């Protein structure tokens, strides 16, 4: 049972470079999310998608973009990385509009130098 797969697991990136974090789920969930987790700040929502073809902005969307071309994939792109984007990024999904039960990936640790 794979659930949610994120790649890469870890990446060191030079400031100004473009980076895409990949997220794939095999549960056929409609809703998908991207969070960043920083010490002391908890999980903060970056972008979300309630269904394929739609996306929305979360609490901290600046500097990030997403797309949802199909049900399974939800990539997160940093167009021009900055050091403040150093964080652990989690992709999550849930089956229904509101169950509260999010399924998370293992995370992608990104360091921007």
Partner 1 sequence: EDQVTQSPEALRLQEGESSSLNCSYTVSGLRGLFWYRQDPGKGPEFLFTLYSAGEEKEKERLKATLTKKESFLHITAPKPEDSATYLCAVGNAGNMLTFGGGTRLMVKP
Work out which of 13, 27, 45, 52 binds partner 1, going by CB under 8 A. 45
* b (16+ CB within 10 A) / e for 65-99: ebebeebbebbbebeebeeebbbbbbbbbbeeeee
Q: Does 32 bind partner 1 (CB under 8 A)?
A: no
Interface mask toward partner 1 for 83-102; x: CB under 8 A: -------x-x----xxxxxx
Q: Least separation, in Å, of the C-beta of 113 and partner 1?
A: 21
Query: How many chain residues interact with partner 1 (CB under 8 A)?
Result: 23
Work out which of 85, 107, 110, 112 binds partner 1, going by CB under 8 A. 107
Q: Would you tell me which residues interact with partner 1 (CB under 8 A)?
A: 4, 35, 40-45, 48, 58, 90, 92, 97-107
């Amino acid at each position: 049972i794979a659930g949610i797969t994120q790649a890469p697991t870890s990446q060191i990136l030079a400031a100004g470079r473009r980076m895409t974090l990949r997220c794939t789920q095999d549960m056929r969930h409609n809703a998908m999310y991207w969070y960043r987790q920083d010490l002391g700040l908890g999980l903060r929502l970056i972008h979300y998608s309630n269904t394929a073809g739609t996306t929305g902005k979360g609490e901290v969307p600046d500097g990030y973009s997403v797309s949802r071309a199909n049900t399974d994939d939800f990539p997160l792109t940093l167009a021009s990385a900055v050091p403040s984007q150093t964080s652990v990024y989690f992709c999550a999904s849930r089956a229904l509009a509101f169950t509260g039960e999010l399924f998370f990936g293992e995370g992608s640790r990104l360091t921007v130098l």
